[in-house]
């Protein structure tokens, strides 16, 4: 393979600079020789006193690495400002797959909180024991703080780094006591942390910034229809682009053709000396596709298919017969169906990964939510043992569920396998919108049996999220029947990914809109109606595998709703131009209630303010928790007011930010967030505030116009 220099640089003036694309720039920094002690998978202490936190969870901007580092600093007695954070490579041997490593379902803090504290408490006790030996003082007189073990009897103190030689010879204590909340120095404080500092300087080490010696750059033109295949292609014009090295076909394996776990499409890869050359050449490819069976279908076919499925499948799981009987015998019913479109994650950092297939081993550098699963998949894909696959995880420029799936890493490996060089695979923005994996389209059918007073007696639900093992938690204490999960008989028109809040989004759009419709039928205030039901509801068991968390406590949800009612002056109507709607959501043992304020402006109705109250147990870092709620509200408003992915003849119709629109700063309402005081186990805050946004706004729209809108997105200005 012939590589070409496309660029020469020399500095003007006195300094001399010579840069070539092929000079290795990622040389190791010069660090002083230090010995270290790594008593467990979360921590390394160097003899020069550097404490490194090894974060097993992915950092996507949700602040988990900051929160976990704070937990570690508190449990250890370390100086948070001096802790270095590293990201763990993919390893289910160390972390298990789903429990401690792969990041999804707002599980980062929830899953790691307990094992991290236990491991670090053991570390602390060993350090104290080592100090006791070194200083000749009793253990009971020693404590840790700011990176030292201190004696409470005299002024003696010894740095952690000076204890590691002794510490590394000591056995771990069998029992340790975790710190009491009143001993926390960092937990509970709004700390910006290292990522915020680095992001403000533009120096966060995303995988898109990785540069390795001899690295080449690749892009792929993918089949525009899922399930299609490549017939032939012409690359003569593309090969003329300066910097292009090679062009070849990408053929997914059977493993990669699964619409959920896989997602790699047939395509043509362009490899070049720089990103621009690869992108330019990609546009010059002439490809003939066999678009396959999905090219006969569009979004409307998915809708119609789900409707037909519903009409022919109404069975009810056995333990919901009670609700079904009430529904069957009721003379008065209320029905409503809710519809939400496909969506794209559209992370600001387009998908990308660097891979180096050496022939006998593979190393990848990527921002992935699933370093363990990625390693497992690459092992399966290449036939190499997992021990020969190294996944270096990088902070990502957004993930929102999309980076849980590793098709983009697998593609980089496929290309590097062919060229046997380090390859940076870049997705263009168009790739991330047109040929990606998507939040699925959904249709949800709700019905209720209504008594003579207009009050609901039982509910029935059939939709995308019901099914034997995937009941969404219903908090309101009424009998509910879950019917057979809807499915689209033609298979998946476009491949699926997770999208912030996942199935809770359509579930909540239906549930929280329908609760308002029921309140209206009962002639009750919709917020008061919810409070009354929650006040009488019992605890709902929640179980998933793996599951770290608690059952659903309706009284906690009720408390968030009461608080948001206060904040938003819900019960103090003074302003004729203000229209309010509410929602209350439980999501993986977090709770979030919301009020949307609508007003009328020169361009029609608009959202003027959003209020939210979250209960996520103990809030490790209130600044990050509030940021997640603020961001979730903007995510929810984008889905409600701006964007959707639509499919025509198997092809996604949107392509970039000019037609897949995101909410902009001038469209963003005022947002006010409160966190419930709690010392309960921390749960999650990345997603719980997404699902309630659409119903809260739609319920306010009903207040303003008397119209029920049950399909999103919508143009609020047209009302």
Partner 1 sequence: MELTINGEGYSFELEDNGMPLLWVLRDVFDLTGTKYSCGIGQCGACTVHVDGLTARSCITPASSLEGKKITTIEGADSIVILSALQENWVAIDVPQCGYCQSGQLMSAAALLSKNPSPSEKEIRDGMRGNLCRCGTYTRILEAIKKTAEDLSS
Q: Which of residues 274-293 bind partner 1 (CB under 8 A)?
A: 274-277, 279-280
For residues 450 and 223, give the distance between their C-alpha atoms in angstroms, rounded to a whole number: 50
Q: Strand 647-648 relative to strand 651-652: parallel, antiparallel, unpaired?
A: antiparallel
Given the complex with partner 1, which of 238 and 291 has the nearer CB atom? 238
Given the complex with partner 1, which of 108 and 549 has the nearer CB atom? 108
Closest CA to 392 of 516, 526, 212, 556: 212
Given the complex with partner 1, which of 649 and 670 has the nearer CB atom? 670
Given the complex with partner 1, which of 256 and 583 has the nearer CB atom? 583
First-to-last CA distance in the chain? Answer: 61
Q: Which of 48, 304, 379, 623 binds partner 1 (CB under 8 A)?
A: 623
- Considering only residues 655-694, where is the footprint of partner 1 by CB under 8 A? 656-658, 662-666, 668, 670-671
CB of 318 to partner 1, least distance (A): 42
Cα 46 versus chain centre, distance: 33
- Considering only residues 373-402, where is the footprint of partner 1 by CB under 8 A? 395-400
CB of 650 to partner 1, least distance (A): 24
CB of 158 to partner 1, least distance (A): 33
On whether the CB atoms of residues 410 and 264 are closer than 8 A, the answer is yes
CB of 395 to partner 1, least distance (A): 7
Q: Kindly state whether residue 608 participates in binding partner 1, applying the rule CB under 8 A.
A: no
Given the complex with partner 1, which of 122 and 344 has the nearer CB atom? 344
Q: Which of 17, 28, 254, 572 binds partner 1 (CB under 8 A)?
A: 17
Please list, in sequence order, all residues whose beta carbon lies within 8 angstroms of the beta carbon of residue 115, skipping any fewer than 6 positions away: 99, 100
Given the complex with partner 1, which of 217 and 405 has the nearer CB atom? 217
On whether the CB atoms of residues 660 and 439 are closer than 8 A, the answer is no
Q: Which of 630, 680, 703, 708 binds partner 1 (CB under 8 A)?
A: 630
Strands of the 148-151 sheet, one edge to the other: 142-145, 148-151, 157-159
Binding mask 304-343 for partner 1 (x = CB under 8 A): ----------------------------------------
CB of 657 to partner 1, least distance (A): 4
Q: Which residues pair with 248 in a beta bridge?
A: 269
Q: Kindly state whether residue 188 participates in binding partner 1, applying the rule CB under 8 A.
A: no
Binding mask 33-62 for partner 1 (x = CB under 8 A): ---------------------------xxx
Over the range 434-444, which residues count as b (16 or more CB within 10 Å of their CB) and which as e?
A: bbbbbbbbbbb
Pull the structure tokens for residue 196.
Answer: 């915020």
Q: Kindly state whether residue 358 participates in binding partner 1, applying the rule CB under 8 A.
A: no
For residues 594 and 582, give the distance between their C-alpha atoms in angstroms, rounded to a whole number: 5
For residues 683 and 184, give the distance between their C-alpha atoms in angstroms, rounded to a whole number: 18
| 3-state SS, residue 511 | helix
Tokens 């809030």 belong to residue:
619
Cα 613 versus chain centre, distance: 20
- Considering only residues 224-253, where is the footprint of partner 1 by CB under 8 A? 241-243
- Considering only residues 397-456, where is the footprint of partner 1 by CB under 8 A? 397-400, 426, 428-430
Q: Kindly state whether residue 347 participates in binding partner 1, applying the rule CB under 8 A.
A: yes
Pull the structure tokens for residue 589.
Answer: 């043992």
Q: Which of 122, 346, 605, 613 binds partner 1 (CB under 8 A)?
A: 346
Q: Kindly state whether residue 212 participates in binding partner 1, applying the rule CB under 8 A.
A: no
Given the complex with partner 1, which of 36 and 606 has the nearer CB atom? 606
# residues contacting partner 1 (CB under 8 A) = 80
Please list, in sequence order, all residues whose beta carbon lies within 8 angstroms of the beta carbon of residue 706, skipping any fewer than 6 positions away: none
Over the range 165-189, which residues count as b (16 or more CB within 10 Å of their CB) and which as e?
A: ebbeeeeeeeebeebeeeebbbbbe
Q: Which of 192, 454, 467, 477 binds partner 1 (CB under 8 A)?
A: 192
Pull the structure tokens for residue 239.
Answer: 């090969």
Q: Which of 25, 172, 237, 307 binds partner 1 (CB under 8 A)?
A: 25
**Contact range with partner 1 by CB under 8 A, out of 87-95, 163-171, 483-491, 619-627:** 619-627
Backbone angles phi, psi at 162, to 5 degrees: -85, 0
Q: Kindly state whether residue 471 participates in binding partner 1, applying the rule CB under 8 A.
A: no
**Contact range with partner 1 by CB under 8 A, out of 17-25, 293-301, 407-415, 471-479:** 17-25
Q: How many CA atoms lie within 13 A of 505 on its CB side?
A: 29
- Considering only residues 62-91, where is the footprint of partner 1 by CB under 8 A? 62-63
For residues 152 and 128, give the distance between their C-alpha atoms in angstroms, rounded to a whole number: 12
Q: Kindly state whether residue 560 participates in binding partner 1, applying the rule CB under 8 A.
A: no
């Amino acid at each position: 393979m012939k590589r070409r220099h496309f660029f020469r640089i020399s500095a003007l003036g006195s300094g001399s600079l010579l840069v070539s694309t092929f000079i290795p720039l990622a040389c190791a920094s010069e660090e002083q020789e230090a010995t270290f002690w790594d008593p467990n998978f979360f921590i390394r202490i160097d003899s020069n006193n550097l404490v490194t936190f090894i974060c097993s969870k992915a950092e996507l901007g949700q602040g988990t690495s900051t929160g976990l580092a704070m937990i570690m600093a508190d449990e250890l007695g370390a100086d948070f400002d001096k802790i270095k954070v590293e990201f763990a490579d993919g390893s289910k041997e160390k972390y298990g797959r789903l429990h401690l490593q792969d990041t999804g379902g707002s599980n980062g803090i929830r899953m790691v909180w307990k094992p991290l504290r236990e491991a670090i408490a053991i570390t602390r006790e060993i350090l104290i024991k080592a100090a006791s030996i070194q200083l000749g003082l009793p253990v009971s007189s020693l404590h840790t703080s700011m990176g030292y073990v201190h004696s409470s009897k005299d002024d003696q103190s010894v740095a952690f780094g000076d204890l590691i030689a002794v510490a590394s010879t000591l056995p771990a204590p069998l029992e340790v006591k975790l710190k009491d909340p009143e001993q926390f120095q960092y937990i509970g404080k709004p700390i910006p942390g290292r990522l915020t500092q680095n992001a403000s300087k533009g120096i966060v080490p995303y995988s898109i910034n990785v540069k390795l010696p001899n690295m080449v750059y690749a892009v792929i033109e993918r089949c525009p229809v899922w399930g299609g295949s490549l017939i032939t292609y012409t690359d003569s014009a593309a090969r003329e682009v300066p910097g292009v090295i090679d062009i070849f076909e990408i053929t997914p394996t059977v493993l990669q053709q699964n619409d959920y776990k896989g997602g790699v499409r047939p395509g043509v890869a362009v490899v070049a000396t720089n990103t621009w050359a690869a992108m330019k050449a990609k546009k010059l490819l002439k490809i003939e596709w066999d678009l396959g069976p999905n090219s006969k279908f569009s979004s409307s076919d998915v809708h119609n298919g789900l409707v037909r499925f519903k009409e022919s499948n109404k069975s009810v799981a056995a333990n919901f017969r009670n609700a079904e009987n009430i529904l069957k015998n009721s003379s008065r019913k209320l029905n409503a169906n809710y519809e939400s479109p496909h969506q794209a994650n559209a992370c600001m950092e387009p998908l990308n990964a660097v891979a180096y297939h050496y022939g006998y081993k593979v190393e990848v550098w990527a921002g992935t939510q699933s370093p363990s699963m990625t390693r497992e998949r690459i092992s399966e894909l290449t036939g190499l043992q997992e021990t020969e696959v190294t996944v270096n995880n990088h902070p990502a420029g957004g993930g929102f569920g999309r980076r849980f799936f590793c098709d983009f890493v697998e593609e980089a490996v496929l290309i590097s396998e062919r060229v046997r060089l380090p390859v940076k695979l870049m997705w263009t923005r168009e790739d991330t919108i047109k040929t990606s994996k998507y939040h699925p389209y959904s249709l949800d059918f709700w019905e209720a049996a209504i008594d003579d007073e207009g009050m609901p007696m039982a509910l029935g639900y059939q939709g995308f999220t019901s099914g034997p093992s995937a009941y969404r938690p219903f908090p309101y204490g009424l009998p509910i029947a879950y019917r057979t999960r809807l499915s689209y008989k033609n298979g998946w028109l476009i491949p699926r990914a997770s999208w912030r809040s996942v199935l809770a989004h359509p579930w909540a759009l239906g549930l929280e809109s329908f609760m308002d419709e029921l309140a209206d039928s009962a002639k009750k205030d919709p917020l008061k109606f919810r409070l009354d039901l929650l006040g009488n509801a019992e605890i709902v068991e929640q179980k998933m595998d793996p599951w770290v968390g608690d059952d659903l406590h309706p009284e906690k949800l009720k408390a968030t709703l009461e608080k948001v009612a206060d904040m938003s002056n819900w019960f103090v109507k003074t302003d004729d131009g203000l229209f309010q709607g509410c929602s209350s959501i439980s999501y993986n043992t977090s709770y979030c209630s919301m009020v949307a304020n609508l007003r009328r402006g020169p361009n029609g109705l608009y959202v003027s303010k959003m209020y939210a109250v979250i209960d996520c147990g103990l809030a490790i870092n209130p600044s990050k928790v509030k940021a997640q709620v603020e961001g979730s509200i903007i995510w929810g408003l984008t889905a409600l007011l701006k964007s959707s992915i639509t499919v025509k003849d198997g092809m996604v119709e949107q392509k970039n930010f000019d037609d897949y629109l995101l909410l902009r700063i001038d469209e963003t309402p005022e947002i006010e967030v409160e966190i419930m005081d709690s010392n309960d186990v921390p749960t999650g805050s990345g997603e719980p505030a997404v699902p309630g946004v659409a119903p809260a706004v739609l319920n306010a729209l009903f207040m303003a116009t008397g119209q029920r809108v049950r399909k999103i997105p919508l143009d609020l200005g047209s009302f």
